[in-house]
Amino acid sequence: METSTTKHLATEVIDYVKAPNLEGYFSYDTFRFKPKKDVNFIKGGGGLYGIFYEGLLIYVGKYQGTQKDFFAGDIITARWIKHIATITLKGNKVSFSERSYNQIVAFIEEVGDNEFKNHLELFDSLILGDYDLFTTDRGCMSTFDRFKFALDIWKDPDHSIDNMLSKLSFVYCRLDGNIETSFARDIVSMSENEVLSKTHPRCNAISNRIDKGSFTEIEVTDLFETSLLNNSIAMAGTKILPENGSEDEIVDTSPPFIKKIESSHPEHLEAIDNLINEIENLHDVSIAFTNTAGGDLRVRKHFPELRGFVNAITFEWQPKKERLLCKTMLNPEDISSNVLSIDRVGSSVLKSETFIHPKIIDDYMNEIKLFMAKAIEVRERGKSIKQRSHVKETNRFVVLDLETTGFSFAKGDRIIEIACLEIVDGSAGKHFHRRINPEREIPKRSTEVHGITNEDLVNAPTFREISKELVEFLGESDLVIHNAAFDYPFLSKQLASVGEKSLTNKFHCTLKAARSSMRDLIDKKKLDDLCDYFLIDRSSRTKHGAMIDVELTAKVFLKMVELKFIIIM
C-alpha cells in the first residue's frame, strides 16, 4: 500500500455563482460553490486532507469515499465546497447550531464596532437576521471556531470572495493499493486523530485546544504520509480495530438526508444539489434539513411581515427505489405537467405524494420548478402559518430575562431563573420572578456568569410547576428582551416541552434596536453600555441576574422609545 499526495489552490478547483438574497439572512452577497469543470486530478478515494490559509494549516479532515467503495466519491463536492462556505461565511446555505449562534451573538455584543470596522455587515446580518434561518440546518453547518477564524479573513478591507479564494489551498493525501474498504477506513480514522493531536488546527472542533504552532503544506504533507503508512504497517495482519470517539475526531455534520444519498447513490448528489439551488431561487423560500423520517428536506415559504413560515414541500429519499418522495398539498387538477403526478394520498397535512427520480431532474427542471411553485402557492393559501409574533395595539409590555444552564436547549440546557416586569402606560408595574430547578446539574462555567449554584435550587419549583402562572402573566403582551435571539426561542421551546403553547407574542429587542439605530452613538451595545449611555444607574448589577436585568432593560427600553430609537407600531 502507498500514498499519493496532490496540492491545489482553491481558485483552481472551486467555482461559484452568486445566490439570490433571502430576507432575514446575510445582507451581503452569498454564493453557491461548486467544483470547477475539467479538474485534472483523481477526486475520489479515501485519505486525509488539509485546508490552508496563506500557506498555513487551518483544518484537517478525513475522506472515506462512499459507503460501498472507499476509492470512489468526489472530495470537492462532498467536503471542500462546504468548508469554503463555512470558513468564509460566504456560502448561501451556512447556518449554526443554537449553541454556536448564541456564542456568536454574545461575542458580537461584547466587542466594539470600532475594533471590527470591516465586519459590520457580517455582525449586522447575524444580530438583525432571522433566528430560524441561522439556526436551521440548511446543509452547511458552521461553528463558533470557524466564525472566529472568519473574523481574521474579514479584517482584510478586500473581503471579496475572489480575494478569499486566492488565499486558500488544499493538500489531499490518498491511500492507494489493494486494500479492504473497512481496513482502509480504520487506518484513515487513526491517522486523522493522530495528526489532529499534533496540530490542533483552528477550524477543527477540538476540546481543550492548545496552541501547537503553525504548520506549512510541506510539514502537513509529511505528517499525512507518515501517519497513514505507519498505521497501515501497524495494523497489517491484525483485526484489532482502532478506538473511536476521540475528542479530537471530527464528526461529519452533513444532514441525514444528504448522508443517505451520499452513502447509497452519490451519483445523484449533483442533480439533487441543482434542485435545491433552484428551490432557493424562488422568492422568500428556503430549505431546511430535519431528522424526521430518518432525515428529510423541507421547503419553507417565509412571510417576513409576519415573522413566520410554512412548510410547503417535504422531500424524503427512498434508497431502495432510488427516488425522492415529494409531499405537497396539491390536488391532481393543480398539476399541468406530463412529467409529474399525484401518485398516492397520505394522511399528513402535506398529503399528496409524488415520486421524482433524480435521473429526470436536470432534463425536466422547468416542469419541476413549476410544480414546486404551484405547491408553494397552494400551501401559502392554506392555514397553520408558523408565526412567531403578531401585531396588535397595546399599552402593556412585559420585559423578560432568563438565566440558563447553557446555550443549547437541544442539548439539554434549561432555564434556572426567569424574571418578568410589566410596563403599563410607560410605568413599571407587577413583576414575576422565579428561580427554577432545572432537574440537571449546572455547569461551573454557567455559575461563574450568574452566581447560581445547584444547592441554590434544590427546593426550587420545576419549570412545569410554574409554567401556567408564567403564561398567564405574559398574556398576549409585547415582550421586551435584550438579545431576544436567545431568550425568545429558548423560552418558547421550554414552554412547548411541558405542554404549553409556543410563544407567539410580538417582541422588541433592545440589542437589535441599538445595533440598527445607535451605530454612530455607541461602540458596544451590551446592556451595561446602554445603561451608561442613558445615564441609568447599574451599580447594583454585579453579576448577571434575571431580576436586575429586567429592571435595567425596562429603563433602557423606555429611554429608547422616548428618543425614537424604538418605534412602537
Q: Which residues are catalytic?
A: 544
**Residue labelled with grid coordinates 477526486:** 43
- Residue 269 CB neighbour total at 10 angstroms: 17
What distance in Å separates the CA atoms of residue 34 and residue 43, rounded to the nearest whole number? 13
The crossing angle, in degrees rounded to 10, of helices 484-497 and 510-517 is: 160
The CA–CA distances, whole Å, from 120 to 13, 165, 177 equal 30, 21, 50
DSSP string, 456-492: GGTTSPBHHHHHHHHHHHHTTPEEEETTHHHHHHHHH
Cell numbers representing residue 176 in the block:
492507494
Query: 66 near 46, Cβ under 8 Å?
Result: no
- 78 DSSP assignment: I
Distance CA 506, CA 398 (A): 11
Q: Cα-flanking dihedrals φ and ψ of residue 175, to 5°? A: -85, 130
Count other C-beta atoms under 10 Å from residue 382's C-beta.
Answer: 12
CA 53 to chain centre: 23
Pull the grid cell for residue 404: 440558563
Q: Mapping DSSP to helix (H, G, I), strand (E, B) and coil, where does residue 388 land? A: coil
DSSP 77: I
Nearest Cα neighbor of 68 from 225, 219, 263, 261 is: 263
Backbone angles phi, psi at 507, to 5 degrees: -135, 155
Residue in 39, 36, 87 with CA at minimum distance from that of residue 61: 87
The answer to whether 166 touches 153, Cβ cutoff 8 Å, is: no
Question: What SS3 class is residue 323?
Answer: strand
Residues 552 and 36: their CA atoms lie apart, in Å, by 54
Phi first, then psi: give them for residue 480, nearest 5 degrees: -120, 125
Write the Ramachandran bin of 479: left for phi over 0, alpha for psi from -120 to 50, otherwise beta: beta
**What single-letter amino acid sits at 406?**
G
Fill in the DSSP letter of residue 206: -
Neighbours of 145 (CB within 10 A): 19
The Cα 343–Cα 318 span in angstroms is 15
Query: Pseudo-torsion of CA 129, 135, 138, 141, nearest 10°?
Result: 110
Q: Is 230 helix (H, G, I), strand (E, B) or coil?
A: helix
